[in-house]
Structure 1
Amino acid sequence: MSRRSSRASVSDGEFFTDCKAAYVEVVKDVRKDITSKSLLLQALQESGRNPSERVLKKYWNSSTDGISFDDFVDICRKEHVTSDDEMMKAFRKIDTNGDGYLSLDELFKIMTSKGEKMTRQEVREIIDEVDENGDGKLDYKERKFYYEQFCNMNRATADQLRQRNRKRLERVEKGDRRSKKVESFSDSKRGDVASMGSQISVKSNSSQRTGMSGSRRSLLSIGEQKNPYSTPVPAQRKTLSRSLLSEDDMPRPSPRSNKKGVKHVPASKLGHLTEEPKNKRDWTKTTSKGCFFIDEDDGLMTHTYRLNLNERSKVWITVQPSIPQSMIIGDTTPIDTMLLVTKKKPDSEGRSVVGFTEKRDGKGKYGVMCELKAGSYNLLPFTTGCHLKARRSDSSKETPLVRKDRDGKTSITKAFRKALEEIFELSDLDGNGTLSRDEFTWFTLRTSGDKVTDDEWAVVEDTVELENNEITKKGFVKLNEMEADDVDDDISDLWVTLNSMGYNKDLFIDEACPYKLDVYTESCDDAEVALTCTGIETINNDMIIETVMEQDEGVKIKGSVYMYTYANDTRSTVVLSNRSNNSVNVTMDCTSSKNCQISQDNEEYTVTLDPHEKQIAHHLMPLDETLDWTPRCVEAVTK
């Protein structure tokens, strides 16, 4: 169901002014471009719109370099200002437990994770402002609050925002006109000024600068700042003072250069996984599918899983790519698909990881054997990003997705239908040939950022024939055919879906990697194993860091900066740890490595570490698995 443009109830002149005011609020100058998706989101929010992730992806994708002011105006014409119904829909989504109330915790969670983050006290003040009965909750079941409070608050906030932005724009334009007059006057008097020498100087008055504060916090945000036109003075960045550092803390080359490196055997010589149970056919097997995705904002993402055991058992877990041969790097190196097994809560020593895949066979399958107590565990797949990388360029010509017959009826092309069928297979995590509501929700979360509501699922039930209350492949394609028929000539929404699932303009998957996950448990008469997909999340680097630091004692590079290295036959991972109270930069030079593919964009780069921060510096893997590979790195702490 595509989004269509709606006309605002303002004149074209007012509309243009509002767009310009919102744009200037974020970018400062209409002659400059919006340079990131986050800035586009802020500008649209300043204009009274609340775009979903899918809407943003429609206008900002991996090939977008910038959006001009004219482009922004066109976007605002297509995407209408947030309506009361849309606000109520969003309001209900925040109510995670479905009790009809918004608690402080629920409101705090949503308003401290999106856009310009708010403090808990600011959220508390929002609730206090409209909480009539003093129970600390917002109630949307009461008709009075629905219409008179929530919607009026939304409209009032949007109106206040537009008025504030217009006033700021007026001040900016007046300042520009004044500056031009001064420049003109100065040009005409240039000779006089020059003759006066040092008697005349130009001073700037910071207290008179026009305010250009950040984006609107939230549509639920109410109240104004004490001075809505003042410019907050940014905090000055702390500098490293020589008087605060010891001699050891000063930059100098690392004592650990790894000049010789560590030579690894070709991964192509790897055989079967030695830990794999010989009698695994007698073990209970549970299978699921999943996928790694490249996200422009969040980096590498993956499906995550929960494993529940009702009694102690040995568990053998394998994960391997389930992709066509055409996606194998150089026809020899499969995209790495690894996995971490973690507890729901850390132990007394702060450890969460109970096992991770270290070994793999020659076909790309990784495995790990664990002895697990009864309880619940997280299974966190991960990939290094050495071989699964964001595309650097895309085809200039898009593959046709729709076509029209002689009667003007829209239908999808064979190529698009094939891609939709592949996406269906990716989304069918349990492999039963149909999509459950949960599986359809994972698909919509990935492509639009929204969960499937009861009303939306009811539309699905009324639209396509279901099998055991699940969507068939035919029904899934039909839903997308209906969307294609509804978009007229604007197919940008269709491309958002394809791009989100890793497809390029040639309808080839190059920014995603599907995988297969198998869990084997020793046979027990009354053993119960439940493997559940819990969502699509950013790869958990903290858990990877924990595994590396558990395996290596670490080497002091300089001062309070330490390096930890983990290496096996197919992967080398380096972690940096800054134990000091100051930020430091560490240069990493891996140019002397042989036959290696690095997870960074370049083999020579700089890592910035905040005080007491731990960070993955890089992963290295063999570029060609039929040959020897030698990872090498030279490190140095700099200012």
Structure 2
Amino acid sequence: MSRRSNRASISDGEFILDCKAAYVDVIGDIRKDITNKSQLLQALQDTGRNPTERVLKKYWHADTDGISFDDFVDICRKEQVTSQEDMMKAFRRIDINGDGFLSLDELFKIMNSKGETMSKQEVKELLDSVDENGDGKLDYKERKFYYEKFCNLNLEISKQLRQKNRKRLERAEKGERRSKKVESFSDSKRGDSASMGSQISVKSNSSQRTGMSGSRRSLLSVGDLKDSHSTPVPAQRKTLSRSLLAEDDMPRPSPRSNKKGAKHVPASKLGNLTEEPKNKRDWTKCSSKGCFFIDEDNGLETHNFRLTLAERSKVWITIQPVVPQSMIIGDTTPIDTMLLITRKRPDNEGRSVLGFTEKRDGKGKYGVMCDLKAGTYNLLPFTTGCHLKPRRSDSSKETPLVRKDREGKTTITKAFKKALEEIFDLSDLDGNGTLSRDEFTWFTVRTSGDKVTDDEWNVVEETVELDKNDEITKEGFVRLNEMEAEDVDDDVNDLWVTLNSMGYNKDLFIDEACPYKVDIYTENCDDAEMALTCTGIEAINHDMIMETVTEQDEGVKIKGSVYMYTYANDTRSTVVLYNRSSNHVNVTMDCASSKNCQINRDKDEYSVTLGPHEKQIAHHLMPMDETLDWTPRCVESVTK
């Protein structure tokens, strides 16, 4: 459903005042810009709005430097103030265990999901104020009175917060006027201090808000709970009392540089996968599609999968990129698509990874053979980011998405329709030509951050014709998006949010996503006893990747308590750093001497900051041109 512009039912003067009060409460001065998405979220929430991740992406892009107060006012004119109906829908999504009740633990988790500091006792007092039967839960399925009262309570809190913001603004402006009067009588430092004091007091009030105001902000953000994108402010790093390097220490090659500097044969000369079973036609096969996405907040994301075996079996798993017609790729180097097989729970020694795709053929297909017991396993695709990187800019002219027909009706262009059909194919994970509710939900989570509720699915069923299995056809999917385009008229921001979330640039080419296909062959399991289901879209699991590196290398000491672990095969070199000390440590890495290598970092020379007892992937290296030899080589040094 499209989010349309809406003006609140208040006078324009009061509207501007509310905007100004919220802006000053967060930023401190309307002459200053909003500098990050978290500030924009907080300021919009202070005006009583509930922006989802999709709405935020409309106004805060990857290349956005700041948003002025005038821009903020324009945004507030376009986005609706949260209504009771919106709140009712949002609260239905916070029933984490699906039992129809909102418990104290669920409310506590939600209210603190954005970094708020509301205590469990404060949450309990809030719950008690609307829990009339005293069972410690809020039942919104059978006793709607309590649920509606809870919504009304939060709407009232939102109103009170706006009134408080106005009073803070009024006090701040009085203080500023008072300071100017002082300055008019004297140029002394005392006058300057008074002016500064009035500005600081506004900031202090903003940072000290707790209690009911804090709960309102968290509750109104429940639509973003699943994948909370707000980045917490890191704690200030402690400085080392003295350098871990001696004064005569200089950056030098790693003790394992000979191994790391060895030449690798061109990947294009790699033959067939050696472990691939010759009689795999006799094995049971199961397949699914997935996709890697570049996410502005979480980096690289991917679909994850779960494999269930009813009995012990040899399992052959392959993963390879699927290149749509509109995808931008290099001529010689396919985007790397690899995969980890992990236990549901670590073993007694804390290990989770059972196997991963080390070998690949010359066409970009990776494979791994495992002998697995009966049970359930997680399949975690990953890509290094050496070849799939964020676009540096998207300065080209936007491809038109909508047009007017002869009757003046808004309709979508052929280019946009082609992109929608391609998105449908990307979302059709099982490849059956239709979208199930789960597949449609994964699409909406990716593009808007929200799951599909029962009410929203009912709207889909009433709007477009489904197939005999109650799944969305390609024509129905395109029609749903056509209806949204008709609704937005000339405002195509929502449409571009969908396209950008799926990896499309302004030319409607895919450059920030990579589809792939996973094939599973089992020797001893038939179709009825094997299931492959997608578990959702999540950030790539770097912890599991680091486990594969540290398990296969003993590690070498760089300096002090900093150790380096290296993994290298014919197509990839990965370095993991481990700080075993109780201090923060900086490690400088210089990979400029590598030959024909592509690094996942922005630069060949960079620094990695390690917290106490922290592990990090320092870098991945892969061949830039797979038709040529490649030589990974790096120099490391520890600094303060």
State whether TM-score is above 0.5. yes
Q: Match for 1:569: what amino acid?
A: D
Structure 2 residue 437 is matched with structure 1 residue 440: no
Please, which moves more after superposition, 611-620 or 26-35? 26-35
* Aligned with 1:219 (options 211, 216, 220): 216
- Within a 5 Å distance, the mapping from 1:14-413 to structure 2 comes to 14-114=14-114, 116=116, 118=118, 120=120, 122-140=122-140, 141-147=142-148, 149-187=149-187, 209-210=201-202, 211-214=204-207, 217-219=214-216, 237=236, 239-240=238-239, 242=241, 252-253=249-250, 256-257=253-254, 261-324=261-324, 327=327, 329-413=329-413
Distance of aligned partners of 1:537 and 1:179 in 2 relative to their CA distance in 1, 3 Å threshold:
same
Does the 8 A contact of 1:428 with 1:439 survive in 2? yes
Does the 8 A contact of 1:294 with 1:389 survive in 2? yes
- Within a 5 Å distance, the mapping from 1:494-513 to structure 2 comes to 494-513=495-514
Deviations 1:586-633 (A, max 9, x none): 111111111111111111111111111111111111111111111121
Please, which moves more after superposition, 68-77 or 166-175? 166-175
Paired with 1:250 and 1:338, the residues of 2 have a C-alpha distance of 42
Q: Match for 2:536: what amino acid?
A: G
Distance of aligned partners of 1:420 and 1:583 in 2 relative to their CA distance in 1, 3 Å threshold:
same
Q: Match for 2:287: what amino acid?
A: T
Does the 8 A contact of 1:118 with 1:217 survive in 2? yes
Paired with 1:251 and 1:535, the residues of 2 have a C-alpha distance of 51
Does the 8 A contact of 2:27 with 2:34 survive in 1? yes
Q: Match for 1:51: what amino acid?
A: P
Paired with 2:450 and 2:108, the residues of 1 have a C-alpha distance of 19
Deviations 1:562-585 (A, max 9, x none): 111111111111111111222121
Paired with 2:466 and 2:280, the residues of 1 have a C-alpha distance of 36
Structure 2 residue 574 is matched with structure 1 residue 573: yes
Does the 8 A contact of 2:310 with 2:530 survive in 1? yes
Distance of aligned partners of 1:28 and 1:367 in 2 relative to their CA distance in 1, 3 Å threshold:
same
Paired with 1:237 and 1:637, the residues of 2 have a C-alpha distance of 20
Please, which moves more after superposition, 10-19 or 130-139? 130-139
Q: Match for 1:219: what amino acid?
A: R
Deviations 1:182-204 (A, max 9, x none): 444444x79xx9xxxxxx99798
- Within a 5 Å distance, the mapping from 1:485-496 to structure 2 comes to 485-496=486-497
Does the 8 A contact of 1:249 with 1:560 survive in 2? no
Does the 8 A contact of 1:253 with 1:635 survive in 2? no
> Where does residue 222 of structure 2 map in the other structure?
none
Q: Match for 1:240: what amino acid?
A: T
Distance of aligned partners of 1:344 and 1:77 in 2 relative to their CA distance in 1, 3 Å threshold:
same
Q: Match for 2:206: what amino acid?
A: S
> Where does residue 582 of structure 1 map in the other structure?
583
Deviations 1:360-390 (A, max 9, x none): 1100001111111111111111111111111
Paired with 1:153 and 1:633, the residues of 2 have a C-alpha distance of 59
Shift in Å, 1:239 = 3.5
Q: Match for 1:84: what amino acid?
A: Q
Aligned length, in residue pairs:
616
Shift in Å, 1:146 = 2.7
Q: Match for 1:305: what amino acid?
A: F
Paired with 2:247 and 2:168, the residues of 1 have a C-alpha distance of 46
Does the 8 A contact of 2:244 with 2:638 survive in 1? no
Does the 8 A contact of 1:346 with 1:352 survive in 2? yes
- Within a 5 Å distance, the mapping from 1:472-483 to structure 2 comes to 472-483=473-484
Paired with 2:11 and 2:405, the residues of 1 have a C-alpha distance of 39
Paired with 2:527 and 2:412, the residues of 1 have a C-alpha distance of 50
Helix, strand or coil at the partner of 1:434: coil
- Within a 5 Å distance, the mapping from 1:411-490 to structure 2 comes to 411-467=411-467, 468-490=469-491
Paired with 1:367 and 1:119, the residues of 2 have a C-alpha distance of 49
Q: Match for 1:557: what amino acid?
A: I
Q: Match for 2:544: what amino acid?
A: M
> Where does residue 224 of structure 2 map in the other structure?
none
Distance of aligned partners of 1:591 and 1:410 in 2 relative to their CA distance in 1, 3 Å threshold:
same
% identity of equivalent residues: 76
Paired with 1:420 and 1:504, the residues of 2 have a C-alpha distance of 14
Shift in Å, 1:24 = 1.8
Paired with 2:572 and 2:516, the residues of 1 have a C-alpha distance of 19
Shift in Å, 1:67 = 1.4
Distance of aligned partners of 1:84 and 1:252 in 2 relative to their CA distance in 1, 3 Å threshold:
farther
Paired with 2:181 and 2:193, the residues of 1 have a C-alpha distance of 15
> Where does residue 197 of structure 1 map in the other structure?
none
Does the 8 A contact of 2:597 with 2:621 survive in 1? yes
Paired with 1:526 and 1:323, the residues of 2 have a C-alpha distance of 28
Shift in Å, 1:104 = 2.6
Q: Match for 1:616: what amino acid?
A: I
Distance of aligned partners of 1:89 and 1:236 in 2 relative to their CA distance in 1, 3 Å threshold:
closer
Distance of aligned partners of 1:201 and 1:184 in 2 relative to their CA distance in 1, 3 Å threshold:
closer
Paired with 1:155 and 1:525, the residues of 2 have a C-alpha distance of 55
Please, which moves more after superposition, 278-287 or 177-186? 177-186
Shift in Å, 1:171 = 3.0
Structure 2's unaligned 5+ residue stretches are: 220-232
Shift in Å, 1:6 = 2.4
Deviations 1:70-104 (A, max 9, x none): 11100101111111111111111111333321123
Paired with 1:50 and 1:525, the residues of 2 have a C-alpha distance of 49
Q: Match for 1:213: what amino acid?
A: S
> Where does residue 606 of structure 2 map in the other structure?
605
Helix, strand or coil at the partner of 2:294: strand
Deviations 1:240-288 (A, max 9, x none): 353xx69679995456436652321111111111111111111110000
Helix, strand or coil at the partner of 2:216: coil
TM-score, length-normalised on structure 2?
0.90
Deviations 1:466-515 (A, max 9, x none): 11211111111111111111112111111111011000110000010000
Paired with 1:546 and 1:262, the residues of 2 have a C-alpha distance of 24
Paired with 1:431 and 1:563, the residues of 2 have a C-alpha distance of 43
Q: Match for 2:588: what amino acid?
A: T
Distance of aligned partners of 1:525 and 1:406 in 2 relative to their CA distance in 1, 3 Å threshold:
closer
Paired with 1:326 and 1:150, the residues of 2 have a C-alpha distance of 48
Root-mean-square deviation (Å): 2.7
Paired with 1:180 and 1:322, the residues of 2 have a C-alpha distance of 65
Does the 8 A contact of 1:252 with 1:558 survive in 2? no
Paired with 1:121 and 1:432, the residues of 2 have a C-alpha distance of 51
Shift in Å, 1:125 = 4.3
> Where does residue 196 of structure 1 map in the other structure?
none
Deviations 1:94-116 (A, max 9, x none): 11333321123332343343454
Structure 1's unaligned 5+ residue stretches are: 194-199, 223-233
Please, which moves more after superposition, 418-427 or 248-257? 248-257
> Where does residue 529 of structure 2 map in the other structure?
528
Please, which moves more after superposition, 39-48 or 253-262? 253-262
Distance of aligned partners of 1:318 and 1:74 in 2 relative to their CA distance in 1, 3 Å threshold:
same
Helix, strand or coil at the partner of 2:368: strand
Deviations 1:37-56 (A, max 9, x none): 22211211122111111111
